[in-house]
Amino acid sequence: MPRPVSNPPNPFESTHLEWLEDTPQVRTEVFEEEAKSILARNESPDIPFRYSLNPYRGCAHACAYCYARVSHQYLGFGAGTDFDSRIVVKRNAAQLLRAELRKRSWTGEPIAFSGNTDCYQPLEASYELTRACLRVCRDFENPVQIITKGTLVRRDTDLLAELHERAGVRVYVSIPFLDEAVGRAIEPGAPSPARRLDTLRRLAEAGIPVGLAIAPLIPGLNDSDIPRIVEAAAGAGATRVFAILLRLPGEVESVFEERLRDAFPDRADRVLSACRQARAGQDSPSAFGERMRGAGPRWEILWRMLEVAARRHGLALTDREIPMVGRRRASRQGELFGDPE
Q: Rounded mean pLDDT of 71-79?
A: 90
Pick the closest to residue 136 from 103, 179, 172, 102 (CA basis): 102
Q: What is the 3-state secondary structure (H, E, C) of the chain?
A: CCEECCCCCCCCCCCCHHHCCCCCCCCCEEEEECCCCCEEECCCCCCCCCEEECCEECCCCCCCCCCCHHHHHHHCCCCCHHHHHEEEEECCHHHHHHHHHHCCCCCCCCEEECCCCCCCCCCHHHHCHHHHHHHHHHHCCCCEEEEECCHHHHHHHHHHHHHHHHCCEEEEEECCCCCHHHHHHHCCCCCCHHHHHHHHHHHHHCCCCEEEEEEEECCCCCHHHHHHHHHHHHHCCCCEEEEEECCCCCCHHHHHHHHHHHHCCCCHHHHHHHHHHCECCCCCCCCCCCCCCCECHHHHHHHHHHHHHHHHCCCEECCCCCCCCCCHHHHHHCCCCCCCC
Question: What are the pLDDT digits (tens) for 185-238?
Answer: 999 999 999 999 999 999 999 999 999 999 999 999 999 999 999 999 999 999
pLDDT score for 120: 97
Mean pLDDT of the chain: 86
pLDDT greater than 80 at residue 243? yes
Q: Rounded mean pLDDT of 58-84?
A: 93
Q: Rounded mean pLDDT of 69-84?
A: 92
pTM of the model: 0.86
Domains in the chain, ordered, with CATH? 28-333 (3.20.20.70)
Q: How far apart are CA 209 and CA 168, in angstroms?
A: 9
**Phi first, then psi: what are they for 41, rounded to 5°?**
-100, 130
Say if residues 245 and 299 touch (Cβ distance below 8 Å).
yes
Question: What are the pLDDT digits (tens) for 136-186?
Answer: 999 999 999 999 999 999 999 999 999 999 999 999 999 999 999 999 999
Question: What are the pLDDT digits (tens) for 250-292?
Answer: 899 999 999 999 999 999 999 999 999 998 776 665 555 555 6
